[in-house]
Amino acid sequence: MVDSSAGGKMSAHGGGGGRTRVGRYELGRTLGEGTFAKVKFARNVETGENVAIKILDKDKVLKHKMIAQIKREISTMKLIRHPNVIRMYEVMASRTKIYIVMELVTGGELFDKIASRGRLKEDDARKYFQQLINAVDYCHSRGVYHRDLKPENLLLDANGTLKVSDFGLSALSQQVREDGLLHTTCGTPNYVAPEVINNKGYDGAKADLWSCGVILFVLMAGYLPFEDSNLMALYKKIYKADFSCPSWFSTSAKKLIKKILDPNPNTRITIAEVINNEWFKKGYQPPRFETAEVNLDDINSIFNESGDPAQLVVERREERPAVMNAFELISTSQGLNLGTLFEKQTDSVKRETRFASRLPANEILSKIEAAAGPMGFNVQKRNYKVPIILADKKTITACFHFT
């Protein structure tokens, strides 16, 4: 999840501190953190574009035997280029980490909109449902089945456009067995199709559509169609499609939802039929986008320790110079020093040495005192001016300006 403030200033820019760079990206503050990964705000220094980077620890991935899952998630995101799906730009790897560079989405979760407002108006719910179906239909056309569709995995961008995210439980068409079905039971109980729970194999496209139907119900009702604190009781309701639509649903919306939430996958409506449904088609605008050819050959190299070291990136920290205002910058050039306009002229030659430091003022002065003392100098500190009295009673004054 990426919150709405993510598009602001990067924390790495504050206070004149250092910047962490990975490849062409400058990392900022952490947007989210899980057991195996964290997501950071980042900026492409070449284009200025803001992105989100998911950072995974290779050791943790290997230790928990998650290589296959991570490869599948990366492959899935690489295959999909759709305006209603989170975009993955590129994947990089260092010796210890994997970096997944993704589109930055700043509008929060659709779930938050429901939680704060309650149910949505039917027209608003239809708009989000249309975008969801567009995304899911495209995923299926690319051989990708999400398997964990729910409002928490649906994000909104700054313009309110829906973006499907989190393909961690997705399946690819290569995982379909000889019977033409998927066999891994996964998903969130309240949104999962009855045939998935049955553990006898299921069609990934039909199971995803069931979850879409539950989401549509939640958007319009403000609560779940299947709910029970006892998991087995919940499953019984799902098996029987034991639910009822509230009175404020329009008749055509009720009919469509009941066709989607048909417990028999063989008679359940298809996505093509949903798109041709009269209720769905109201105000519908098909998405416009270009389909690009995608090569997945480089996915294995991310985990290949014997791969080409030249292809690995290095996470490095770059120190930023101390911040100086315009007058301080000008005064560093002897030819442009404006001090003579404001200081009383004397016959003495004024020699200056300037340096910048990020250490605290007291620490700098203490170090000067410690260095001058053993050399026979008498050091006196007054308001950040340090007169150093030499053996011949001449005085060198060090004057410090702290910003």
Q: Residues forming the annotated binding site for ATP?
A: 54
Residue 148 a catalytic site member: yes
Is 184 in contact with 171 (CB distance < 8 Å)?
yes
Rounded Cα distance, 99 and 57, in Å: 9
Question: Measured between alpha carbons, how far is residue 399 from residues 355, 383, 387, 396 in Å?
Answer: 11, 9, 9, 10
Which of 343, 375, 339, 341 lies closest to 354, judged by CA? 339
Q: What is the largest CA-CA distance in the chain?
A: 104
CA 70/CA 167 separation, integer angstroms: 10
CA distances from 190 to 214, 235, 246, 249, 296 (A): 8, 9, 18, 20, 34
Place of tokens 């999400």: 146
Residues belonging to the chain: 403
Identify the active-site residue in 3, 59, 148, 208: 148
- Rounded Cα–Cα distance for residues 37 and 39 (Å): 7
Tokens of 12: 């790495």
Q: How far apart are CA 311 and CA 93, in angstroms?
A: 8
Cα 56 to Cα 68, 158, 216: the distances in Å are: 14, 27, 33
Best CA proximity match to 365, nearest among 344, 349, 387, 348:
387
Contact 154, 111 (CB under 8 A): yes
Nearest C-alpha neighbor of 161 from the set 244, 86, 235, 246: 86
**C-alpha to C-alpha distance for 138 and 141, rounded to whole angstroms:** 5
| 3-class DSSP string for 244-263 | CCCCCCCHHHHHHHHHHCCC
- How far is Cα 351 from Cα 248, in angstroms, rounded to an integer? 83
Position 92: which residue type?
M
Tell me which residues are annotated as active site: 148
